Every structure is written in C-alpha cells, then in structure tokens.
Chain A
Amino acid sequence: MATETEQDGPQEDWGPLSGLSGNPIMWVLIASELVVFGAIFISFGFARLSEPQVFAEAQDHLNRLAGAINTMVLLTSGLFAALAVHFQSRDDTLKTRLAIAAAIALGAVFLGVKFVEYADKFEQGISTETNTFFMFYYLATAFHAMHVVFGMVLLVIVGWKNSFENVVTGTAFWHMVDLIWVILFPLIYLMR
C-alpha cells in the first residue's frame, strides 16, 4: 500500500531499537505487554482443557455481539490515533488534537459497553469466584480495560504536549491495546 510522509526518527542511538518509530522504551513496554497477555491467553487455553464443559456453559452467558461491537469501536479509535500521527507529521495541531479526542471518545464508548457487560454479569450473580472461566474473563478483560484507561490518559498528555515523537509514542500504546483486544475477543468470547 502507498506511503507518503517521511519523518525523522529518534536522534539518540538505541541500537536495534532505533529502527522503530517513537520512543524505543514504549516498544519494550509493548513487547512486554504482549508476552504478559500471551501468557494469560495460553493459561486460559490450558484451563479450558481441564474443564471444557464449564467453559462452554459459562461462555454462553457472554454477550458476543457486544464484544464484536467493542472490537469495531476500538479499531476505529485506532484509526483516529493513526490519523493523529499523520496530521502531526504535517504540523496540523488542530486536526491532531481532534483525532486524539475522537480516539479518546471511542475509548470511553468501549469502557461504557464493558461497564454494561459487567453490570449484567453482576446482576446475574456472576463474579470472579463463579468458576475458572469467569476468573479468567474478569482477569483478562479488567486488566485490558485498565490499559484502555491508562491509554486514554496517555492520549490526553500527548494531545497536550504534541511533539511528533510524543504523539507517535502515545498512539503506539493505544494500538497495542487494540492489538490485545483483537486476540482477546475471539479467545474469550468465541472459542467454544
């Protein structure tokens, strides 16, 4: 696919990490988060092996459509985050901030849908102690939701202090949050 805009990379020499866009420390964090969530996902797979019936019955309590809608919401917020980098590369601060605001707003929509899902589960008396499936469900989704909240705070900061490197670095975290959800959704909501 076509590429268009060129930007200067980091000026410091970070060795192999210099080949990445944004602050290299963010990439260390992204790789670490992928490994941590990967370990949670694989543990979920192992737990499912020992209690397949419990997992199948418990998963039917989830709102799969809400999970799918939230996937679209988060991916669209990812588009706005990517657009923010595009606009910042052209020094268009207004459009950059608008794109970041849209990404944050969609992050809030994601959390709203998640809140409705949690409220529904609590009304049904479903908690972390209900069974192993729901222990993993709450662990993975709440941990992810905490990353969404942190990502929104980070986006506010880089929208305010909007140097090119800051915007690239802040939005990189947001895309990592997208990426984790893209794997989490089929695993927790659809695998049966």
Chain B
Amino acid sequence: MKTHTLPSLKTLIVVWGLLMLATIGTMFAGKVSDVTSVGPLWMGLLLVVTYIKATLILGYYLDLKSATGGWNKGFNTLVAIILIAIYGLYFFGA
C-alpha cells in the first residue's frame, strides 16, 4: 500500500498567499487598467507568472509533489507546452 504525504495547513495557506501575490503580478504584467498592447516582454512575464501559479496548484493543491512516477513533471510539462504555444502564437502575431 502506498502512502501520500499531504501538505501541512501552514503550507496550504502559504501557497494560497503566493497564488494571490502571483495574481496581483498577473494583473500588473497584463496591465488590467490599460487598453494598450501588453507587448512581447510583458506577455512573456505574464505567462511565466501563470506557469508558476499552475505549478503551485499542481504541486500543492493537487498534491502532485508527493506523487511517484514523474506525474508532477509530466503535468507541469503539459502546462508549459500549452503556454509556450500560446506565447509563440502571440509573438508571431505581435
């Protein structure tokens, strides 16, 4: 029988705090209150922050950090592929 180590209460709250900060970072990089184009540099930063948020959700909320067999890397890679494709399409259209 396998055992899974769950994140502690403190860890879950710290992760939530980081996600909130990252969301504020996303609003800043995405120029929420502005109508001008974000631009390739800020768009890249925006997607990096998005990737960090996704890895936090996958690793701690979905508890993939304690999963065996490379599942954490696998799901992170899938998200990275989606975000890189989005950025590539944005970059060529910019």
A45 touches B3 (CB 8 A): no
Chain A residue numbers with a CB within 8 Å of B26 are 68, 71, 185-186, 190
A38 touches B23 (CB 8 A): no
Chain B residue numbers with a CB within 8 Å of A191 are 30, 38, 43, 46, 86, 90
Contact of B3 among A7, A46, A72 (CB under 8 A): A7
Contact of B57 among A1, A8, A72, A179 (CB under 8 A): A179
Q: Chain A binding site: helix, strand, loop or mixed by DSSP? A: helix
Contact with B along A63-94 (1 / 0, CB 8 A): 01100100110011011011101100100000
Given contacts A20-B71, A82-B12, contact A3 B58 (CB under 8 A): no
Give CA–CA (A4, B7) in the complex, Å. 6
A28 interface residue per 8 A CB criterion: no
Chain B residue numbers with a CB within 8 Å of A25 are none
A68 touches B27 (CB 8 A): yes
Greatest chain A CB density within 10 A among B6, B12, B47, B64 is at: B6
Interface 9-residue window, one of A48-56, A119-127, A135-143, A155-163:
A48-56
Bin the interface of chain B by size. Answer: 35 or more
Inter-chain CB contacts under 8 Å: number: 184
B72 CB to closest chain A CB (Å) equals 10
Closest residue of chain B to A178 (Cβ to Cβ) is B57
Task: Please name 29 pairs of A and B residues whose Cβ atoms are closer than 8 Å in the assembled complex, sorted by A.
Answer: A1-B7, A4-B9, A8-B1, A19-B71, A21-B62, A30-B62, A31-B78, A34-B78, A42-B82, A48-B93, A64-B27, A64-B30, A64-B32, A68-B23, A72-B23, A78-B19, A78-B61, A79-B12, A82-B7, A82-B12, A82-B15, A89-B6, A172-B62, A179-B57, A183-B50, A187-B86, A190-B32, A192-B37, A192-B38
Binding site for B on A (CB under 8 A): 1-11, 16, 18-21, 27, 30-31, 34-35, 38, 41-42, 45-46, 48-49, 52, 56, 60, 64-65, 68, 71-72, 75-76, 78-79, 81-83, 85-86, 89, 168, 172, 175-176, 178-179, 182-183, 185-187, 189-192
